[in-house]
């Protein structure tokens, strides 16, 4: 069993990220349980607890969460986003 830091300031963003990955989840108070084919990921108090097999799914979740955060900021400040190779984004304001 692994324990990894994963602080979620905005649960709505995390929910959007999970929906974009088509992962099922359940929120129980301050606990978020994410159901993956490799096992469950439980996020409590800024820590994600998971099996080693679920590590790639946590990486995907973190990446999707970051993308959703970038999209939200871009929309708020009226930037356009362009995706670049290598998991990079360019924000432009016109």
pLDDT band at 82 (very low <50, low <70, confident <90, very high): confident
Q: Which of 58, 59, 49, 57 is nearest to 2 (CA)?
A: 49
> What does CATH list as the number for 2-92?
3.30.310
Over residues 13-70, the pLDDT tens digits come to 999 999 999 999 999 989 999 999 999 999 999 999 999 999 999 999 999 999 999 9
**Sign, Cα dihedral of 22, 77, 7, 27:** negative
d(CA 34, CA 39): 9
CA gap 14, 53 in Å, rounded:
21
Specify the DSSP element, H or E, that contains 18. Answer: helix 11-20
> Confidence band (pLDDT; 50, 70, 90) for 86?
confident
């Amino acid at each position: 069993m692994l324990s990894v830091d994963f602080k979620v300031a905005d649960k709505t963003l995390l929910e959007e990220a999970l929906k974009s990955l088509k992962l099922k989840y359940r929120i129980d108070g301050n606990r978020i349980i994410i159901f993956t084919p490799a096992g469950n990921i439980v996020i409590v108090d800024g820590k994600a607890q998971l099996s080693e097999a679920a590590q790639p799914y946590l990486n995907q979740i973190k990446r999707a969460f970051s993308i959703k955060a970038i999209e939200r900021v871009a929309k708020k400040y009226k930037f356009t986003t362009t995706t670049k190779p290598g998991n990079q984004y360019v924000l432009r304001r016109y």
